[in-house]
Amino acid sequence: MTLTVSKVLILSTPVVVLLSESAVLQGAFLLAEKLCLPSSLSSLQKDDWSRVGRPVLEAVREICRQDKLNSHSATTSVSWTEKLVCALWLKLLCREAGEDVEVSWRENPFFPLQNGLPEVSHVVLLEVVRSMGAAQTFAQFLLCLPRSQICTELERLVQYTRSSPTREDDARLFLEVWWELWKGRDEQTAGGEDSIGTMFARQCARLSSKSSGESSQAAKRLKLDPPDPSAMSPTTDVLHILLHALKDVKDHISTTDLCLQALSVSLDALHTAFLIDQAAVLSTIEKMHILSKTVSIREKNDEKLSPELIREAQRDLRASHTPSQFQPSRMKLDEALKIITEAAQFWQSSGLLKVNESSDPSYSAFKLEQSVQRVLTDLQKAEVPAAMTEKNLLRGLLESLAFPAVESSPEMNARVTAMIISHRLDDHQNYALLFASEKSWAACDEHWIDCIEKNQAAFQHRSILIKLTSTLMSKLHRQSTNVSHCRKLMKVIADIFSALSLKDKNKALAAMLRLSSRGFFACSVPPAVIDGFELELNMAFNCIIQGGGGESAAASQGNLNTAVSLVARVAFQNPEAALRSCCHSAIFNKGAFSLMAKILQQLPGLIGQKGREDEAQSDEDEGKGAEESIADGKVAASGSSLLCRCLQELFKTKSLSANEREQFLKCLGLLMMPVMAVEGEEVKQSFLLPEEVVNTFVLSNLSTMGQSSFDTELSLQLLHTALSVDVQEPASSPHWVMDCSPFPLLYVLAQLYNHTLRCWEQTPGGAAPHWSMDTRELLLSVLTTLGQVVGAEVAAAPSSWSRALFWLYNKVEELDWSVRFHLKAVWGEHFKNEVPSSLLTVCDLPEQEWSGLDLPQYGQGTGLLAWMECCSISDSLQSTMLSGLSLDRRRPDHIGMFSKGVLVALTQTLPWCSVPQWTRLLGVLRELIASERLHVPFSLEYVDYLPLLDLRRFSCELRLSVLLLRVLQLLCGSSCSHWLSVDGWAHVGRLYAHSVKDVMNSVRAKLPLPSSGALTSMSPKAPASRNSNPSCTSIKSPKMSQDISQKDLKHPGGPPLKAAESHREEEVEAVPSQEVLFVLSQLFCHVQHIQVMMPGGQCEPLFLSSLEILSHYEAIMAAFPDSSSPLESDNTRHFFSTITDNLENREMKAALQQKIAQLVSSAA
């Protein structure tokens, strides 16, 4: 063979064979072929290999040495060994299959190498494998074959081993191949599609299919005689072949080490083929100890710790505990026991099973010890009636074996585990968990921390992270702590946490809270560590506050994600400190409450364990113990979360401004809103449960009974917000408020509301009252809402809450009688409506539903006062009072007396009404006036001459205004003026201003201002109706036009146009612009009169009402210029200015007079 090119590629795949190296191998084989003369390598006998095989072995060693010098891969020698074994084996298989050269050179990538080799026998192949220590390679190739061919090749191996001379190396090769088969395919060395093993398997499959195809064709051409059974492979049972081979070669095993190896392999084969049907589960620490002992033994035999060493030990361990892939089909357990027992007895009698306990243990002895323990454990469970003798013999024999103790140091355990983690070997995730858990390994600070730092990805699991955290905490709490190492480890752990997904971060945060609410700082730690964390904490929140606003939605979302990551990172290190900073930022940084709420909503892991009880207290517990628990603050303590505790501490140490309180309320309101915390989750959840907020902040503060007005108002606002939250609860579960001592809470709210009923009364000593009307309205809203919720629960399960219901009813009895009506939703139909007895004298109410109370403050003649108070409580009660009013309209003296009574009752009721209550009373007054049950005489107090106007359509507005004037005159009189404080008069002014607005809205509805388009289309010189006032402008109502056209259709006689015109003249209605101006002027005078009368005379709401009246007056004059002549305008200016001169406040007087001047000039 001549070479023209030094190196060429002979494979189109990544597997490259250098032609010069192939030539060396081919030359070596040719030389071996010459040394065989007159025989050949194809007929070589085993004992001749030592004479002819040296050139081949020297050639392979030289190739590997040269490659190593040329800095090729460390696996080059293995690769060349694989190539040679593969080429030799394929040459044998091609010869057996009778493959044509023309086909082989095209389809076989190894053809150039194997074609240059002389013909060889299986003896040459096996001698090359034995001499080169390539049992693993041979076994891996063997596993590429189908089961039947594996058995055939094993028979050849057994035949080779048995053939003379049988050397101990032959037995070792046999045992090594056996155990490699049992370990199965090595996926790491198997490689990909272009690996040598894969290509070998592909060629074997191709040759096998070709052989089967030719056999079928031959069968069609020629009917052969039946095959000789003795000529065929006796079985496809791999274990049967191997155990019977062991029986034959046991006599040729003469060393203790090989004997121990043989017994270990056979016992493991027995165990995995017969005694287990599923893989045994070993804990990570058990596997680690076995691997560490293996490495310790091998290191004493001058082997170095390496990933390959550990990987092979893991394969051994896995093969020993996993059912074999070669399950027996012919071999039975009793037969296997008999063969192994006979072999073990032979070796024991030969003294080969004695292990020197004083010397260092060998790996074979250690493996056998492990095998013996497994077999003894499982053999006891096996039932083998046919081989009970062999079973007992084997048990006795195995129990008699003694092995030296093998220990592994903590340092070795740590080194092995670190190696598995660093090189991502099998099951490295569980080893990472073990590595993080072992506090004794952490004592080796530098190496332990370095491993974690360099392999952070392996530790990115929440369970591992929590183990690391526990280890760090134990290090921090030791007396002698290496601060630099602790700070480094803390940073590494924080980095690992930061790399988790948001979902896993939340799980890790929840796990950290279960360990400690203060994280790493649960106990005292070195000051330097604290300082470092506080610096990180401050920097994190400074970055969040400074970068709070994104210019776009994407930027805003990016900022939010960054903020969430920053807060989560510091929160994992110290949840309490992070939440305290969140609270501080949310309250004291303007506008930051929204951002903080969004951040916390994405970190539900910080919610921690709730103090919420599974079932609400009811009956006696609600009635007796809950009130005391509110007063003692026990409910708040049990239901408070970490965030609530942080907020409570902040309130104790800081005095909040109004703006800061508002931010606090808004932040808690957002946190109670259910949101989708993490994308992909279906259920929404609240960071703070409403019941938690109520238990923490509301119950304890309300128990002080108003000693701090801020605390009470804040608590009411929080309760109102909590009740407004739409919580997604299962339909079958009770409302969350039932976990908040609802009946005692209702009683406390009722008590507070009872205090507010006389909120303007001076307290003893002349102290200023501390209840505002806004607080009262908020309190009433909360009381009503809570009552509706509790009432629904009571109605759903009345028997469960009956005792608590009676308890509440009896407790409320000591309060004002009107309070019970605000709890009507709670009572349902369980109790009668109880009212002052005097009310029943003026109102006809059914005795089945109503009963009277003898109250000292409601004596004779107070019926209308009670009736008026009932009308203000609720819409339904107002309707009942109006329909049941006992009044004979036919008797003028009754109407007169009733009207006077209403005036007095209204005077007594007005100052104590909230805006909603006063609105109801205004509706009652309108109804009474409209139904002519209330007589209010209208006198022209502010005009010198009787105007020629039709004021009937404004009768209600004028009378209502006069009635309110009379009420205020009475209230401001000498007999009543001392009733109210400054705040009380201010509230009366607000209510009267509300009444004026109500009257103004009614007037506007009767004469809407035309739009700008209507004004331009309307002719200012349009002729007036002949029956109308000259000062009124006539416009046609669209509804009337439709009515006229319908009537025209019903009058066929007469000219249609004339009929239409006559109807228009009859139906045209004058716009009451002058009447409206008159009403507005009267209203303005009433407001000014009252403002002058009221103490102080500086009521701003009345001043604003006057400006509103003047503005509307001006708008009417502009829209309807003919409604007032210049002379009338001048008189109006003078009149309004004269009225306004009575005001004491100069600024208000000047503003009104300026408005009046503009009013007149615009009209002129």
Helix or strand or coil: residue 688?
A: coil
- pLDDT of 138-183, one tens digit each? 999 999 988 999 999 999 999 999 998 889 999 999 999 999 999 9
- The pLDDT, as a whole number, for residue 672 is 92
Over residues 881-888, mean pLDDT = 93
Least confident interval from 737-741, 927-931, 997-1001, 1156-1160? 1156-1160
Least confident interval from 41-55, 871-885, 981-995, 1016-1030? 1016-1030
pLDDT band at 711 (very low <50, low <70, confident <90, very high): confident
- pLDDT of 547-562, one tens digit each? 765 455 666 788 889 9
Q: Distance of alpha carbon 82 from its chain centroid, rounded?
A: 54
- The pLDDT, as a whole number, for residue 123 is 93
Residue pair 521/600 in contact by the 8 Å Cβ criterion: no
* DSSP classification of residue 250: G
Residue pair 504/462 in contact by the 8 Å Cβ criterion: yes
- The pLDDT, as a whole number, for residue 213 is 54
- The pLDDT, as a whole number, for residue 1061 is 40
- The pLDDT, as a whole number, for residue 367 is 94
Over residues 457-461, mean pLDDT = 92
Please tell me the distance from the alpha carbon of residue 1003 to that of residue 916, in angstroms, as a whole number.
Answer: 21
Q: Is residue 972 predicted with pLDDT exceeding 50?
A: yes
Q: How many C-beta atoms surround the C-beta of residue 756 within 10 A?
A: 19
Strand bridging mode 1034-1035 / 1069-1070: antiparallel
Residue pair 757/869 in contact by the 8 Å Cβ criterion: no
Query: Residues near 724 by Cβ (< 8 Å), separated by ≥ 6?
Result: none
Please tell me the distance from the alpha carbon of residue 246 to that of residue 248, in angstroms, as a whole number.
Answer: 5
Helix or strand or coil: residue 590?
A: coil
Query: Residues near 304 by Cβ (< 8 Å), separated by ≥ 6?
Result: none
- pLDDT of 809-848, one tens digit each? 999 999 999 999 999 999 988 889 999 999 999 999 999 9
Q: What is the largest CA-CA distance in the chain?
A: 158
pLDDT band at 595 (very low <50, low <70, confident <90, very high): very high
Please tell me the distance from the alpha carbon of residue 114 to that of residue 86, in angstroms, as a whole number.
Answer: 9
Q: Is residue 717 predicted with pLDDT exceeding 70?
A: yes
Omega of the bond leading into 1095 within 30 degrees of 0 (cis): no
Question: Which one, of 476, 454, 183, lies nearest residue 315 by Cα?
Answer: 183
What b/e string do you get for 956-983 counting C-beta neighbours within 10 Å, with b at 16 or more?
bbbbbbbbbbebbebbbeeeeeebbbee
pLDDT band at 18 (very low <50, low <70, confident <90, very high): very low
Beta bridge mates, 834 = 851
Least confident interval from 418-432, 490-504, 1086-1100? 1086-1100
pTM of the model: 0.78
Q: Is residue 637 predicted with pLDDT exceeding 50?
A: no
Helix or strand or coil: residue 853?
A: strand
Please indicate whether residue 233 or residue 527 has the higher confidence score (pLDDT).
527
Please tell me the distance from the alpha carbon of residue 448 to that of residue 445, in angstroms, as a whole number.
Answer: 5
- The pLDDT, as a whole number, for residue 78 is 62
- pLDDT of 272-294, one tens digit each? 999 999 999 999 999 999 999 99
Residue pair 796/1007 in contact by the 8 Å Cβ criterion: no
- The pLDDT, as a whole number, for residue 526 is 85
Q: Is residue 634 predicted with pLDDT exceeding 50?
A: no
Query: Residues near 112 by Cβ (< 8 Å), separated by ≥ 6?
Result: 10, 17, 19, 22
Report the percent of the chain where pLDDT is more than 70. Answer: 82
Residue 731 buriedness (CB in 10 A; 0-12 / 13-18 / 19+): exposed
Average of per-residue pLDDT values in the chain: 83
What b/e string do you get for 221-254 counting C-beta neighbours within 10 Å, with b at 16 or more?
eeeeeeeeeeeeeebbbbbbbbbbbbeebbebbe
- The pLDDT, as a whole number, for residue 189 is 65
Residue at token pair 């072949």: 241
DSSP state string for 631-659: HHTHHHHHH--HHHHHHHHHHHH-PPPHH
Least confident interval from 748-752, 1016-1020, 1073-1077? 1016-1020
Range ranked top by mean pLDDT from 15-29, 438-452, 885-899: 885-899
| CA end-to-end distance (rounded Å), the chain | 129
Do you know the residue count of the chain?
1164
Helix or strand or coil: residue 675?
A: strand
Residue pair 50/131 in contact by the 8 Å Cβ criterion: no
Residue 640 buriedness (CB in 10 A; 0-12 / 13-18 / 19+): buried
Sequence letter at residue 1162: S
Angle between helices 915-930 and 875-884 in degrees, nearest 10? 30
Please tell me the distance from the alpha carbon of residue 1091 to that of residue 1078, in angstroms, as a whole number.
Answer: 20
Please tell me the distance from the alpha carbon of residue 636 to that of residue 701, in angstroms, as a whole number.
Answer: 10
Helix or strand or coil: residue 833?
A: strand
- The pLDDT, as a whole number, for residue 21 is 79
- The pLDDT, as a whole number, for residue 385 is 75
Question: Which one, of 168, 167, 169, 143, lies nearest residue 154 by Cα?
Answer: 143
Sequence letter at residue 570: V
Q: Is residue 203 predicted with pLDDT exceeding 90?
A: no
Least confident interval from 321-330, 779-788, 1035-1044? 1035-1044
Please tell me the distance from the alpha carbon of residue 131 to that of residue 32, in angstroms, as a whole number.
Answer: 15
Least confident interval from 819-828, 1036-1045, 1107-1116? 1036-1045
Please tell me the distance from the alpha carbon of residue 769 to that of residue 762, in angstroms, as a whole number.
Answer: 6
Alpha-helical (H) ranges within 589-633 are 592-601, 620, 626-632
pLDDT band at 705 (very low <50, low <70, confident <90, very high): low
- The pLDDT, as a whole number, for residue 1013 is 45
Q: How many C-beta atoms surround the C-beta of residue 211 within 10 A?
A: 14
